[in-house]
A and B are shown apart, each in its own frame.
Chain A
Amino acid sequence: MKKLFLLMSTLCVAGLAHGPALADGETIAVFTKNQTNPFFETVRVGAAAGAKSVNAKVIQYIPIKPDSIPEQMSQVEDAIVRKPDAILFTPVDYKALVPGINKMTAAKIPVIGMTDRPAGGDIISFVGVDDYRLGLETSQNLFKAMGGKGNVIALEGVKGTLTSTDRMRGFTDALKQFPDVKLLASQPANYQRLQALQVMENLMQTHPQIAGVFAANDAMATGVVEALAGANRKALVVGINGSKEAVDLIKEGKMHASGSSDPFMQGCLGVLVTVRALRKMPVPKELMVTPVIIDSTNWRDHDIPVEKRSCPKLDEVAAK
């Protein structure tokens, strides 16, 4: 509490110090992929918190059908009509939305990428996480905990998504570093809990010995945890995102680890970088949130409710 107060007062002071010199009240359109995945809700909360700290406004654009390319494309076109000062953009598909980015830049609206790096288009900066490193380090953590040997199963995300491809690439490279770890099966479960549960239930039938499971996100990892519990079997399960649910499962010892991509920080930094660009402050070409592997040793540091988290200061962002 005291710490929070301190932080808030420093923020206020910082605001006072710079306030008169800077224009504020910018409107930033924030695009995310869907309104069902808690990951993006945390991104949005982070973005709102970031905006509040620098006196900017955010308008959230979320496709009315989850992850729908045409819907997001239409929203891009609608957003252009409203002429926000800048757009903070997470494409639902990193290739298919490139024309959308081109439309925004053609309308002279600056675009900052977030979470999924678009395959093209002129973006001022990108805020995200290195999904390859996230996959690699989370897998390494798992394989070490397995004692460097044993059978693993991998559950992939939605085929063709950048996050899934990169995380699986990281997993495959980690696998090469541990020759005694054997990959039994790698199946897609589309980032969905139910599919992960059923795929895992089925895979357990053919594979009596499973020491570890790598799931490309936490929703699938929790599905795996349920499948294992249902069959009364044990395996080390790792996921990715560092969701609250995963932290709780790690706390209870049911899940081994989760590679955190800190969605709150992504949202925060996304807005702050955007605001820096609008206020003609220097911005980094890319700003990557450092992956943190949350496991039994450090979950306490990450067991903080979103509303209690705070964004870094505007001045700190460039250095980060």
Chain B
Amino acid sequence: MSDRTMGERAAGQGLSFLGRVPGVAFVLVALFAIFATLSPGFTTVPNLSNILVQSSILLLLALPMTLIIMTEGLDLSIGAVLTLASVVLATVALSTGSLSIAVLAAVAVGSAMGLLNGWIIAWPGIPPFVATLGTLSIAQGLCLLLTDGQSVVGLPDELHTVYAGYLLGLPIPIIIGAVAYALMHLLLYHTRLGTYVPALGGNREALRHAGVNDRLVLTVIYGIGGLMAGIAALLLTSRMSSAHPTAGIGMEFDAIAAVAVGGTQFERGEGWLLGTLLGVITIGVLRNGLNLLGMPSSIQVVCVGLLVILALFLDGMRRVEE
């Protein structure tokens, strides 16, 4: 509610209330109805919680990606940074035996890579796509050099409880996801930094004239992306009880797709955090439902593509109507 009005004001758009419901919401409802009818196991509590848990890692990447895309940017490196942070987490945990130091190291490495992205995008002005394509390769290379392509195993048992454990009766990944969402919501809609985000995409000159250090803000936003990738690395590593140098490859595209499916525009600085949440869940529901129905894998692959195209098509239709 409030986020929508804030988003509108920030983007300077006077769109009608209903017009902002992204196409993905309809797709999600439709998918939910279909799977609930066809597959008895789908609507059980364990399965729905299963979908949310599975979506948590992608959500942690997609949330900051929303902000980044709102600045008319892009972070192709986030999957590789996630992997690098995971490898660092495991390596440090092995050598120090301390999980908290390991998590700090992972978050630090993630943030550092994010800030590096922001710095080369903001100061020399390298286009985000190319800059993060470069850092993607670099992070991937560091993963390989750190591990020589091998999995890192033998991590302390308590690590596994992060992904598999419960707190107050809720799975921990869902709690982490919810907290991350709440924090990003606060950041985007209730802080001064948040108001700069759409302006960075829509009207950077005006921001600069208003005396805002736009480059610093941009760097911080990419830094947040790296930071979240570092936290996601905790979930990823915990999920596998190990780190693997290819585990997060390609997740940047999943995250970008989730953001786009959620109705965030690639131009004009328009974005909607709740849409991203819906996008992430829709992708999770689709994969889970198709699996429960026993669909052949090749059909599942086509469906993911069609989902992306369909959601954006619906959005496009609504825009044309306006």
Contact = CB atoms under 8 A, between A and B. Distances in A.
Interface of A: 35, 59-65, 67-70, 73-75, 77-79, 81-83, 93, 95-99, 103, 119, 158-160, 188
B282 to A, nearest CB: 15
A319 B137 CA distance: 51
28 contacts: A35-B297, A60-B297, A64-B301, A64-B304, A69-B244, A69-B246, A70-B236, A70-B247, A70-B248, A70-B251, A74-B54, A74-B291, A75-B291, A77-B50, A78-B50, A79-B291, A81-B50, A82-B294, A83-B41, A93-B240, A95-B153, A95-B244, A96-B151, A96-B244, A99-B164, A99-B240, A103-B164, A160-B147
A155 to B, nearest CB: 15
Given A64-B297, A95-B151, 17 more contacts: A35-B297, A61-B297, A70-B239, A70-B251, A73-B239, A77-B50, A77-B54, A78-B287, A81-B46, A81-B47, A82-B292, A82-B294, A83-B41, A93-B240, A95-B242, A95-B244, A97-B240
A22 to B, nearest CB: 25
A99 B160 contact: yes
Contacts of A73: 239-240
Given A74-B287, A79-B291, A99-B164, A160 B149 contact: yes
Output the residue of A60, A69, A73, A96 with the most chain B CB within 10 A.
Answer: A96
A98 B287 CA distance: 22
A65 B250 contact: yes
B250 A61 contact: no
A93 B239 contact: no
Interface string B246-257: 111111000000
Contacts of A99: 160, 163-164, 239-241
A65 B283 CA distance: 14
A68 B250 contact: yes
A93 B236 CA distance: 14
Interface residues of B, number: 42
Contact of B292 (A35, A68, A70, A78): A78
A119 B154 CA distance: 11
B275 to A, nearest CB: 22
Contacts of A69: 240, 244, 246-247
A78 B147 CA distance: 30
B240 to A, nearest CB: 4
A63 B57 CA distance: 17
Contacts of B246: 67, 69
B150 interface: yes
B219 interface: no
Nearest to A79: B291
Nearest to B151: A95
Q: Which 5 A-B pairs have the closest CB atoms?
A: A159-B149, A78-B291, A62-B297, A96-B240, A95-B151
B47 A63 contact: no
A81 B41 contact: yes
Contacts of A188: 149
A35 B298 contact: yes
B151 A93 contact: yes
B90 to A, nearest CB: 11
B191 to A, nearest CB: 32
A59 B294 contact: yes
Contacts of A77: 50, 53-54
Contacts of A81: 41, 44, 46-47, 50, 288, 292
Contacts of B298: 35
A78 B300 CA distance: 14
B235 to A, nearest CB: 10
B239 A160 contact: no
Contact of A63 (B163, B292, B297, B304): B297
A158 B241 contact: no
Nearest to A63: B297
Nearest to B301: A64
Contacts of A83: 41
A98 B150 CA distance: 15
Nearest to B293: A82
Contacts of A79: 291
Interface in B135-176: 144, 147-151, 153, 160, 163-164
B134 to A, nearest CB: 22
Contacts of A78: 50, 287-288, 291-292
Contacts of B236: 70
A95 B287 CA distance: 24
B296 interface: yes
Given A74-B287, A81-B50, A159-B150, A98 B241 contact: yes
A75 B298 CA distance: 14
Nearest to B249: A68
A35 B245 CA distance: 22
Nearest to B241: A99
A190 B125 CA distance: 36
Contacts of A159: 144, 148-150
